[in-house]
Amino acid sequence: MVELDHPLNTGKPIDDSWGLVLDLERLVPCVEGGRVIEKTDPDTVKAEIKVKMGAMSMTFTGTVALVEQDPAAHRALLRVKSREKGGQGHANADVTFTLADGGGTIHTAASITGKAASMGEGMVSTVLDALITDFSQKFAAAA
């Protein structure tokens, strides 16, 4: 399990950021290599992400679901469940957004197995950290 915390600086009103968190079809493409395949219900999408880890490139497909939301506290929990295409591994994560005016925080708790995990926890943390940092910048632009 890899756990990471990142600041989210948007410079935007809290309601703009909250609206983006709840709109998975707009949120998922903020992840580098991420795209929505289809919306399966109001709070769930099928999605795909292509990730580069060192010399390896992997594609994970699965679901992103909004499993908890507290509008008063502007806190939301997204659950990502995915499998490596053509492989045995998976990448699952709970991502908690806690928003405030001008930004907030993102807490990620990820569990990764298979080829990606064989690269070592240091590599997984580095790649995940870079993905979330990039996501934060794209989130700020989209909010």
Chain segment 7-43, per-residue pLDDT in tens:
999 999 999 999 999 999 999 999 999 999 999 999 9
pLDDT (average), residues 43-70: 94
Query: Do residues 32 and 133 lie in contact, with contact meaning Cβ atoms separated by under 8 Å?
Result: no
User: Using the 8-state DSSP alphabet, how is residue 124 labeled?
Assistant: H
CA pair distance 116, 101, nearest whole angstrom: 36
The C-alpha atoms of residue 108 and residue 49 are separated, in whole angstroms, by 16
Cβ(48)–Cβ(34) under 8 Å? yes
Q: For residue 101, give every residue at least 6 positions away whose Cβ sits within 8 Å of its Cβ, in sequence order, or none.
A: 13, 14
Which stretches of the chain are DSSP H helices? 14-22, 24-27, 115-118, 121-142
CATH architecture for the domain at 2-142 = 2-Layer Sandwich (3.30)
